[in-house]
Structure 1
Amino acid sequence: MVEIKTPEQIAKMRAAGLVVAAMHAACRRAAVPGATTKDLDEVAAKVLADHGAKPNFLGYGGFPGNICTSVNDVVVHGIPDRETVLESGDIISIDAGAIVDGWHGDAAITVFVGEGHAPEVHELSRVTEESMWAGIAAMRKGNRLVDISKAIEGYIRRQPRPASGRYGIIEDYGGHGIGSQMHMDPHLLNYVDRRRGRGPKLVPGMCLAIEPMVSLGTAKTHVLEDEWTVKTNDGTWSCHWEHSVALTEQGPLVLTAPDGGRAKLAEYGVTTAPDPLD
């Protein structure tokens, strides 16, 4: 069952989304050479406390962190610790979430640590982030779930190939519904699988976390012995971007973007819904 939200519930999710945006802003500033991933987790915890919000990752299935910190070839679900020290030239995906009045926000950014990143790594992040926005732009009333998948995959496939030869669209993980829980139906692939059909019709009140994960090589992954950390099978670096998005009668609202997604979606000719907290 796909949970359909009322405007009042979407307003609470917007409040949670803005906390997530604040977490990302603080963690981005803190992601410098010499910082540990546990340092970033503590920064995120302080933002949550300052806003009176709860973490939705901490304790989820036993996960031990407030955020996921995934460095270089780690795709998702990296565990914050004191041993992982960021170095200049690293990239790190910071996946953060918050709960406000029982309603969830969830988003991820990829941050460049220090300097010295190869051009293809910059391009990997750009392609992944832009494919996310292409998917968000396809979240329109009357479309179906597969139209989001098609937009994400289509954007990636249209880009020039990297020096490594290809972009791998991670197969085992994707987007999801979000609302009164962090992970809900429907599951959203970042590519088209015709065996799954077209998926549900997109209707006002539907909220999705749209999150492409792309590598510089394989689409295949494996989970480490900690039962959380997901790495690419071939050791190529990966990138992860995510926003939580609500579909309203007036159009999409990017719940975890400070401006509601207005600036980026304008590039696609999409008008965002009014911000319920304005």
Structure 2
Amino acid sequence: MSKLTVSQVKALLKTIDNLTDPRLVELTADPRKGVQAALTQHQRWFKRRQAALAAFNQRFKYERALWQSGCQYVAGMDEVGRGPLAGPVVTCAVILDDQFDLVGVTDSKQLTRHERELLYLRIVDEAVEVSIAVNEPATIDRLNIYAATQDAMMRAVNSLYHRPDHLIVDAVPLPFDFPQTTLIKGDQKSISVAAASIVAKEYRDHLMRDYDQVYPGYGFAENMGYGTKEHLAGLAQHGVTPIHRRSFKPVPQYL
């Protein structure tokens, strides 16, 4: 091991995921500062990885318990876009299996845009099934946001090819005949709900960036329709667009 350069040692450490590996013991005796710094960095990485794995397994506990009870298909449900002044509410149902291993899947709000984008693509690729349903502003104004969210969630479930044996829903209980577990902050407690939150947010964010091209001047690409200072200034200057929710204050005053 002493014949390896520091760069080679760093490359080797990237392949070691067990702190009991005998090569680590040998490297510990290496007096070179670069090697010792690399070992310290590797130990920090390993601890972070172990913590992430533990958190991942904790967030999988609801799904595993339901699988063990005989449920084959468990769908996680989440929504994005209940609070904005403009744009749709987007809901998503995701069915995973016990082979799903994307450790980085967590509450979408805790991820960067780049992290969400990468995870979105992998979730869609690796999930058993993903279903999305959208309710536009006119429906939100007609039903109210809570009912419009429930309606979109139920349509997302009913559109699944695999009929779920059980639903895990983030905060919004659904009034239909599916066994369901409702979790407050479910995207922090359930992997399938977290996966649904990532897919729904990415889908809606892409829509709002497209709307920014159609309706410039409101900052939709950055604020995603929320009532930021830039968005309110756009309303004052340009008025209300077709994607604004007319039942949400202060939109009516700009009609």
TM-score, normalised with respect to structure 1: 0.27
Instruction: Give 1 or 2: higher helix fraction.
Output: 2
TM-score, normalised with respect to structure 2: 0.29
Point out the structure with max Rg over C-alpha. 2
Instruction: Give 1 or 2: higher strand fraction.
Output: 1
